[in-house]
Each structure stands twice: as structure tokens, then as C-alpha cells.
Chains A and B, each alone.
Chain A
Amino acid sequence: MLIKRRGDIRPSEVTPYGVYLRRREFLKAGLAAGLIGAAGLAATRSVGAQGSPGKLAGIRKSNYSTLEKPTSYGDVTSYNNYYEFGTEKSDPAIYAQKLRTRPWTVVVEGEVKRPKTFGIEDLLKLPLEERVYRLRCVEGWSMVIPWVGFELKSLIEQVEPTGKAKFVEFVTAYQPETMPGVRLPVLDWPYVEGLRIDEAMHPLTLIAVGLYDQMLPNQNGAPIRLVVPWKYGFKSAKSIVRIRFVEKQTRIAWEKAASHEYGFYSNVNPEVDHPRWSQATERRIGEDGIFTPKRKTLMFNGYAGQVASLYAGMDLKKFF
């Protein structure tokens, strides 16, 4: 297996070298920050924009894309929540470079007729499309991100869920040797997320393998992640290793951490506040100036037209 790989180096496998080079930029940025204070902030800000993990080809455009102005690549890749690499927004861009993304497989199992293990190389060969989606974080900020990927639905159809498959569980990578954040029990590792099967089958629900025509940077959940644009960002699990079809609703990571603050559904909803802050408004990263009032958050993050019917008759205050 190893020998076979040696003769068959894909561009993707060269990535760590680019990443390796990028480390020096961090060092420089850090040095600059130490030496000239505020100027150092500029250096750390541009770090995310330097080096790219590899270009993806043959990407179709999609009608599901928003026409809003995408957030810059630098901001998208340097302001992240990926607690396995630390709880500061700047941590993942620095520490996630060690994440091992090859070899990578995604095991699809549970209540399905054809369980299957997908190699990341096979998934990257699937027809890819660009989806420019709004992303609304539960913390009250938002971005617009041009994801590259395919509908989760197309993957689900390959494994043929049984009648018992009511929910889909997503288990993400747990690499204690590369993830400094998992040393602390901040969350119950590995990070687990879940969707109801109809949410998972919805055409807006995306499996992303890239952004801005590039393969996903590690800090954004390389090599493969979920994107559910009408839910708060934490629902879109990063670095997925296992997709399980189950009968019972998953207890998701943030629900286990604080069930009165984070629920299974976590649909973006300006009318249902987080217990500690209002969800009525948000700040668009990179676009809204310091003195710009925050913008109004839209129901289902502006995707109500497509997804509101999934929740018809449900009390969204109760099923938050």
C-alpha cells in the first residue's frame, strides 16, 4: 500500500510542504507583532491569505448561490472556531496546519443497505459545484463563503438508508497528537453533530471539500466538512470521518456541553435568543465598519423560502 502510494503522488499530497513554508510567515508575523505592536496585527490578518492548499477544477456554478459579496479569503481562513485547535479565533489558522488530512476516509454506516467507506480521493472526483452561502455564527457574526462541494443527498443516495434511518450523525476527526485543544475537556471529543434525515437530504445541505476554488484549508475543516447554511455555524461539522444513519436523535457536542444554550436544531432564528445574548442582529465580517450598526439577522439565515416547510407546525422556541 505504501509502496503503491510512493509512485502515485497527487498534488494534494504535496500540500503539507506548502503548509510547511507558510509556518515561516507565522513566525514573521509573530515577530512583527512583538516588535511593532499594532503593525503585527496586520501581519496576522494576512496570514490566512498566504499559501493555498491546492486548486480544484471543473467547478460548476449554482443557482443556490447568494449574490452577496463574499468575505475575503484572508478573513475566512484566519477567523475560525475549531476548538480542537484552541478556543481563540486565531488559533486554528496557526495550529491546524498539523492536522493529518491524508490518508483520509469517510465511513458511512448504520441504518443503510449499502454501507461504504469513501476515500477522500474518490470524493474529490465527484462533480463539484460552487455554493456561495451566508454563514451565521451563534456568536453574532456572519460571513459569505464560496464553498465548493456536492450535495450530501448525492452521497446518501449511494448508501440507500433503510426505513429506520431517521437521523444522520456526523463524527469528526480526533487526533490528540495534532490537536492541542483536545487536551482540555472543553467539549466532549470527538465533536459530534447531527441532522434529521430530511434536513440531510435537503438540496441546500452541502458536503464541502473546498472554498474559493481551493481545497479546504485545515482551519476550515479539511479535507471534508458539512455546510448547513440555515443553521448556526457549529452545526456544520468539520473534518468528518464518519457518517452514521440512526433511529434516535443525536446528542450533539454543544448540547452535551450546555443543553439550555444549544439545541439539536440550532436554526438561525432572530426571534429565539441565546440565553446570554440576542440573536436579532449580526455583524458581517470584513464589510461592516466599526461604527456601522449591526444588520438584522434573517429567519433561517435568509433561507426561509427553501427550508421553512421542514419545520411546519413545530414550536421553534421549544425545538431551538
Chain B
Amino acid sequence: MSTVDTSSIAGRGRAIASPSPRAIALIKAVIFVLCLGPLVRLVGGAALDLLGVNPVELIRRSTGTWTLVFVLVTLSVTPLRRLTGWHWLARLRRMFGLYAFFYAVLHLTSYVWLEQFFDVAAIVKDIIKRPFITIGFAAFAMMVPLAVTSTDKMVRRIGAKNWIALHRLVYALAICGVVHYWWLVKRDITKPAIYALALAMLLGYRAVSAARKRTP
């Protein structure tokens, strides 16, 4: 049944207004499970001792990477929607955003637990003294209100206008996240540069379309 729905999306592309609610539910379910993949890999790998020579480093890096990836995926929804006309993609955005928060929580937990072993004094010292940790922590702090206000109920409660204004924080936290990565690498900036470029394109798209709107 649902297979027919999804193939029709692929087949007709732009022409279709939206897949059926049932197809969207299925797409969401599949993506939900796929997004758990990185976590399943880490938990399974840790249980079976398959996380390589330095498992803690791998956990820290993997959760950090996936946080950034999900932030960028979340930010891709709007440009992609506008470029393809697939407006139903907006229905996936909250899930991607919450996955970004989910992996950020795991990333922060890996630092607090596996790196610092709940040594509060050392953590506070790190946040104050080390710019890459300061900015990473700031990025996480900005994610919290966005996650808290992600429900439909909260949107109604604070009003759509306020909600949109608040959720513009995502641009700032995305920048902080990439800078966090850039500042922590020892010497080779290739990978953070790739994330920076992707983010620049996503933000650039918005800047250009906003400028166009202003000058009709």
C-alpha cells in the first residue's frame, strides 16, 4: 500500500502536492529508525568491544559529528523545500532538530561522564578556560530552549511569532557548533572547514532569499 505512495512521490516529484498522510507517517517512521543508527552502532560496539583502540575518543567524536550533521540537516529542510517544492519535508524538520539535541546530550554526557567523570570543578574550569569548550557549551545551552519549545502545545502557548523569533537561535548555535569543532582540532582543519562551508551555504541561501524579499 504505502510502497505505492512513496514511489509516486519519486515518480512525479515536483508535480505532487504532498504524499498521503499515511506515506508521510511511514517516511517519518523509517527516518526515525535510521537516525538511531549512530547510537545503535555505539552501544553495540561498546558492548562487544568493537569501538577500536580508543573507544571513548570514538564515542565523543561520533556523537559530536552526528550533532553537527543533524543541525545541518535541520537547516537544509527549508532550502530543500523551496528548491524542490516538496513542502511536506517541513513535517520532518522537528524530528531532525530533536535528533540534533539528542546527540548533543549524548556528546555532552560523554564529556561529563567519560572524560571528566563528573568532576564538577574540572568541568567548570574547562568551560571558563578553554574557548572551544566554552563555545560548545554555549551551543548546547542554546539548544535547550528550542528542544523545550518544540511541541505543538508550546508553539501555541508562546505564539507563532515569538516561537519563530526564538527558533532563530538555531543559526547562532549552528555557528557556535562549527566553531567549537574548528577550535578543537590540533592542526588539520579540513573536516571543520567542510562543515563550515556547508553551513555557510545554508545560511547564505537564507541571506540571499531574505535580501530578495526586501527588494521586490
Contacts and interface: CB of A to CB of B under 8 A. Distances in A.
Q: Give the secondary structure class of A's interface.
A: loop
B51 interface: yes
Interface stretch (B148-156, B158-166, B181-189): B181-189
Interface string B92-113: 0000000000000000000001
A154 B110 CA distance: 47
A44 interface: yes
B13 interface: no
A42 B56 contact: no
A75 B57 CA distance: 14
A90 B57 CA distance: 13
Give the bracket for the number of chain B residues in contact with chain A. Answer: 20 to 34
Contacts of A75: 53
Interface stretch (A101-109, A200-208, A238-246, A286-294): A286-294
Contact of A38 (B44, B125, B186, B188): B44
B63 to A, nearest CB: 13
B53 A286 contact: yes
Given A38-B48, A89-B53, A276-B130, 20 more contacts: A38-B45, A38-B50, A41-B45, A41-B50, A42-B48, A45-B52, A45-B53, A79-B52, A83-B187, A87-B186, A87-B187, A87-B188, A90-B52, A273-B129, A276-B183, A277-B126, A277-B130, A283-B54, A291-B113, A291-B114
B41 interface: yes
Interface residues of A, number: 34
Given A41-B50, A45-B53, A87-B187, A276 B59 contact: no
A186 interface: yes
A276 B55 CA distance: 21
A42 B50 contact: yes
Interface string A249-283: 00000000110000000000000010111101001
Contacts of A141: 54, 57
Contacts of B190: 87, 184
B122 interface: yes
20 contacts: A38-B44, A38-B45, A39-B50, A75-B53, A78-B53, A79-B52, A79-B54, A83-B187, A187-B187, A273-B129, A276-B184, A277-B130, A283-B54, A286-B53, A290-B51, A290-B55, A290-B114, A291-B113, A291-B114, A293-B117
A75 B103 CA distance: 28
B53 A257 contact: no
Q: Which one of B44, B53, B126 has the greatest number of beta carbons of chain A within 10 Å?
A: B53
Nearest to B51: A41
A37 interface: yes
B46 interface: yes
B132 interface: yes
Interface string B175-216: 000000001101110100000000000000000000000000
Given A87-B188, A186-B188, A258-B187, A285 B41 contact: no
A139 interface: yes
A290 B57 CA distance: 10
A269 to B, nearest CB: 17
B24 to A, nearest CB: 28
Contacts of B45: 38, 41
Q: Give the secondary structure class of B's interface.
A: helix
A38 B187 contact: no
Nearest to A78: B53
A44 B46 contact: no
Contact of A257 (B41, B46, B125, B187): B187
Interface string B24-45: 0000000000000000010011
Given A45-B52, A79-B54, A37 B41 contact: yes
B52 A41 contact: yes
A273 B133 CA distance: 15
A278 B132 CA distance: 13
Contact of A44 (B52, B117, B131): B52
Interface string B58-97: 0100000000000000000000000000000000000000
Contacts of B183: 276
B185 to A, nearest CB: 8
Nearest to B56: A290
A141 to B, nearest CB: 6
Interface string A2-43: 000000000000000000000000000000000001110110
A88 to B, nearest CB: 9
Nearest to B44: A38
Q: Report the 3 A-B pairs with minimum CB-CB distance, sorted nearest first.
A: A79-B53, A87-B188, A293-B117
B190 to A, nearest CB: 8
Contact of B53 (A258, A285, A291): A285
